[in-house]
Structure 1
Amino acid sequence: MKQMSWDDAEIRAELARLKALKPFCYGLTNYVAANLSANVLLAVGAGPAIGTAMDWPGVFGRHAHAVWINAASLMSCGPDQIRLAARSAHEGGVPWVLDPVAVGAGAAEYDAVVKGLLEFRPAAIRGNASELVALAGGVGGGQGVETTLTSDTALPFLQQVAAELGTIAAVSGPVDYITDGKTTVSVGGGDARLTQVTGAGCALGALISGLLAEAEDRLTAVVAAHAIYARAAERASAAKGTGSFAVAFLDQLSLIDPAE
């Protein structure tokens, strides 16, 4: 298994590419995570739009550089809207990211809607260990939006999801794993307080979408999102509490320089 981090030139090159492109990223996410998701994209030079106003799902879904769909956006929009955004991205050849929040936590009707989005072939799927195991047909055992499993446990399920769906699958944890079903890459580092900042995982999905925009190698793009996230979190580690850490994390994302 290959290990990668911010220290790899390929990772820094991916961030430089994003900053040059300044992609327009359209997202459907829950109202808890929307602010952080938008700020994460702005910090690295992308332009976000979030929500289902009027005909946004059809128009922005088809014409954005990339789309991310956080399943918990069903808190404030209907299944038809979320499906329209996914379908529009798929038909428009726009790479989109699925974050299957809380799949496998026991809400069968919700799970059915989220799994139905797989029809539209997401370019990447990212989530916690319980979510990815459940998406692969295993017993995820999630407690609401929180995982009860480790990223190591989820690895074979992650590879299954990637291979069966022809996508890039990524699981977050103390060590992140990203795979296309054949090649698997690990990304370590970060700061445990990311798990104590509301919407940090959701916002990672937004960053993945930005890096997938016009990416030549989608696996490297998704790995880069995790490595950039981890390095920014490490650089924010001097913050004393979770609130100041969240602010410092955004600051570090905005300051991280591909020319380092």
Structure 2
Amino acid sequence: MNAQKAGALLSKVREVNPLVHNITNIVVANFTANGLLALGASPVMADAKQEAAEMAAMAGVLVLNIGTLTERTVESMILAGKSANKHGVPVVLDPVAAGATELRTRSAKQILEEVKVAVVRGNAAEIANAAGQKWAIKGVDSGEAEGDLEELAIHAAKKLNTVVAVTGETDYISDGKQVLKVSNGHSILTKVTGTGCLVTSVVGAFLAVEKNPVSAAAAALAVYGTAAELAAEKTADQGPGSFQVEFLNQLFLVTEEQVTLRARIEKVGL
């Protein structure tokens, strides 16, 4: 995976307009839907257990996010996940705040045990706790991580038997055999609620058009980070409100050529 391929995958997402089935949290549902629409994907938010399996079967990808989980939504996630597995639809999991409470940690592990997940995307604390490691976490957001994120990505990928994307100032994606590093993005992303949840759904959109989950995740993170950089440049000295609006604009406006020029993807480790 390189910058040119990431740009080409952006164009493919827009060409295919994949249906992204999100079972996500109530805080970010609107932002996630708008972000996917801006990018060029087609979002659907369907968490009723009566239709979750049916919707997952017809989607291009299923994205599960435990941000505001309840027993009902976890049940819907597992029903949808099993249906996705049955119908060859890839699944992405965002273990929001795993490790913060026993319910969150247990739910993330239950989903991973009962559903075959193609990519797990989270910050360092979330990934570590989902993989059974102790890592401090406060609420649903985490500050700067301390530790070797490259090693964490490798360990978690092996432990969970899936592709893991550990995101932060620098992103690391691993399947336990290879590691890609993505260095795009901007710190103001942390000042807008839902940017982490949206990036998980963007990974899903790319996974719907690219079978290799490592390549899909790396391309998604590079495109997302490039759009954030462009938005930050246009709203410098304004604040997160202006950035949020411009970020949606840039997800819509960012071009294959801009991604090819700006994406910073490299193979590291292993």
Give the alignment's TM-score, normalised by structure 2. Answer: 0.88
Aligned 1:1-260 pairs, distance under 5 A: 8-53=3-48, 55-75=50-70, 77-105=72-100, 107-119=101-113, 120-148=115-143, 150=145, 153-237=148-232, 238-239=234-235, 240-260=238-258
Percent of aligned positions that are identical? 35
Deviations along 1:172-220, whole A, 9 cap, x unmatched?
A: 1111111111111111131111001010000001101110014132211
Where 2:79 maps in the other structure, the secondary structure is: helix
Return 5+ residue gaps in structure 1 as ranges: none
Deviations along 1:1-56, whole A, 9 cap, x unmatched?
A: x9x5xxx1110011111111110110011111111111111011110001324633
- Cα distance, 1:149 vs structure 2: 5.2
Q: Evaluate the alpha carbon distance shift between residue 149 and residue 77 of structure 1 in structure 2; reply closer, same or farther with a 3 A threshold.
A: farther
Q: Evaluate the alpha carbon distance shift between residue 77 and residue 36 of structure 1 in structure 2; reply closer, same or farther with a 3 A threshold.
A: farther
- Cα distance, 1:153 vs structure 2: 3.1
Where 1:78 maps in the other structure, the secondary structure is: helix
Deviations along 1:119-163, whole A, 9 cap, x unmatched?
A: 211110000111111112111211011225527533322212212
d(CA) in 1 for partners of 2:209, 2:229: 28
d(CA) in 2 for partners of 1:242, 1:136: 32
Return 5+ residue gaps in structure 2 as ranges: 259-270
d(CA) in 1 for partners of 2:117, 2:10: 21
- Mean CA deviation greater in 10-19 or 142-151: 142-151
- Mean CA deviation greater in 163-172 or 132-141: 163-172
d(CA) in 2 for partners of 1:157, 1:121: 20
d(CA) in 2 for partners of 1:111, 1:136: 10
Where 2:67 maps in the other structure, the secondary structure is: helix
Where 1:246 maps in the other structure, the secondary structure is: helix
d(CA) in 2 for partners of 1:97, 1:62: 14
- Mean CA deviation greater in 76-85 or 91-100: 76-85
Asked if the contact 1:74/1:82 (under 8 Å) is kept, the reply is no
| Count of aligned positions | 254
Asked if the contact 1:168/1:180 (under 8 Å) is kept, the reply is yes
d(CA) in 2 for partners of 1:151, 1:196: 20
Tell me which amino acid in the other structure corresponds to 2:194. Answer: G
- Cα distance, 1:77 vs structure 2: 4.0
Where 2:88 maps in the other structure, the secondary structure is: coil
Asked if the contact 2:150/2:179 (under 8 Å) is kept, the reply is no
